[in-house]
Structures are given as structure tokens and as C-alpha cells.
Amino acid sequence: MFQSHLEYAGKTSQIQQNVVGEVCNFENQFNSRVVYSRKLYQYLLIQMIVISLFIYWVYASPSLDSYLEGKPWLFWLCLFISIGTATMALIFRKDVAIFPWNWVVFVTFTLSISIVCGTLVALGDSVIGLLVFSSLASMVFFLFMYSLTVKRRLTYQGSILFISASILLIFEIFTIFTEVSLFWLSTVSLFAFLLAFLLIYDTYTNVNSGDQYDVNQADEVSGSVIIYWDVILLFLKMNELIKDYLVRERN
């Protein structure tokens, strides 16, 4: 009888150790996923800061504004480079996930897309362009800040709360210090919110997908470039679903 009690105690202890081990693995798994999301938002934030600074340079420097307006070939060249870089990174996702190719992709895409956005701002309204990219930079910054507050699992509710705060902040700043119309402020805010939702959905779908997406093998540097294609493809898929729904309703 004493031996049976020892066996029972041993089995109980083993079960407890297994449960503790599974809980620790669960915690570590989601911690690693949160850390990956945090790093991904960090590199996206770096991209947005570089783009926003270049946009501000265009806004504050009439000579640079005039130079970009007179160089349309530079716009098309950088647009081709940025699209080509993102496309090649998407196709060769595993190959560009290692150093130094991930940084080559990151730097090339960031610089080329900055010139593309700067040229668009030079050809249009500089204040509106500054509003757009400030909203995007603020959005990514607040997502990064949200990821710093989470230890276990990212949620849509928390992300939407932080995104709403970022949009309201930019809305108030440009309302006070610029003469941008309410129409453009509202339009850009809605655009930023839609883009933020697509970004959150794409990120969380991958990060919280369990074993289907191994964050230990993922590279956040090249991932910050590939995610643009992911968001575009997700947007096209959403349009297709809406179109199919409207067709079914009509029939």
C-alpha cells in the first residue's frame, strides 16, 4: 500500500511537471510572437520615419520640391525599384530572410519608396502629403507602443484603441497648426484607419496562427517590406469578397 502511494505521488508529480512545462512553453511561444510583432513594427516605424522626414524636407525646401517636379524619370525609376524589391522579396522570402540580404532589401526599398512618396508630394499638395505620411508614421508608432505593453498576446481591441488615439492625435495637430480642410482630414483619417486594420489583421493572422507560422524562422527586417504586398493582396481579397456578396444579393 505504501508503494502504491509512492507510485501515485510520483505520477502526480510527473503530471504537475508536464503541466508546468506545457504552460511555460505556451507562455514562451506567445512571448516570442509578441517580440516578433514588436520588432516588425519597429522596422516599419523606421521606414515611416525616414519617409516622413523626406516628405517634410520636400515640404520645407522649395528647391527640392522644384527638383523633384522636374525629374519625372526619377519617380518612375524609384517606383520600379521599390515594386521590384518588394516583389522579389515576396517570391524569394526565405532567401532574403538572412543577413545581409534582408538589410539590402530593407534599405533599398525604404530609400526608393521615400523618393517616390516625396515626388508625389512635390507634384501635389505638400501639406496633404505630410498629413498622409504623418498619419501612417503615427499609426505604426502607436502599434509599436502597444506591442511594448503586451507580454502574452496581441489583441484587436488593444490595437484599435491605440490606432484610434494616433488618428485623433494627428487630426488635432493638423487642425490646430495647418489650414487643411475637414474633408481631407476626415478622408486621410479613414484611409489610415482602413490601412491600420488591414495591417493588424495580416500581422495577427500570421502571428496567432499557431504552428502554421513559425516566428523563429521569420525575419522581421525583410518582413517589414513583404508586409506591403501582404496588405495589398489582402485588400484585393477583401474587394473580391465584397463583390461576390453584392452579386449574390443582386441575384
Instruction: Give the tens place of pLDDT for each residue, 127-153.
Output: 777 788 788 888 888 888 888 887 767
Give the number of other Cβ atoms within 10 Å of residue 21's Cβ.
Answer: 10
> What confidence score (pLDDT) does residue 3 get?
47
The band of 6, judged by pLDDT with boundaries at 50, 70 and 90, is: very low
Structure-block grid coordinates of residue 204: 495577427
- Mean pLDDT (whole number) for 57-70: 84
> What confidence score (pLDDT) does residue 23 get?
46
Reduced to 3 states, what is the DSSP secondary structure of residue 92? coil
Q: Is the dihedral of CA 78, 80, 83, 85 positive or negative?
A: negative
Q: Would the pLDDT of 210 be above 70?
A: no
Instruction: Record the pTM.
Output: 0.72
Higher pLDDT, 187 or 27: 187
CA distance 139 to 165: 9
> What confidence score (pLDDT) does residue 214 get?
60
> What confidence score (pLDDT) does residue 192 get?
83
CA distance 119 to 113: 10
Q: Would the pLDDT of 20 be above 50?
A: no
> What confidence score (pLDDT) does residue 80 get?
92
Higher pLDDT, 93 or 216: 93
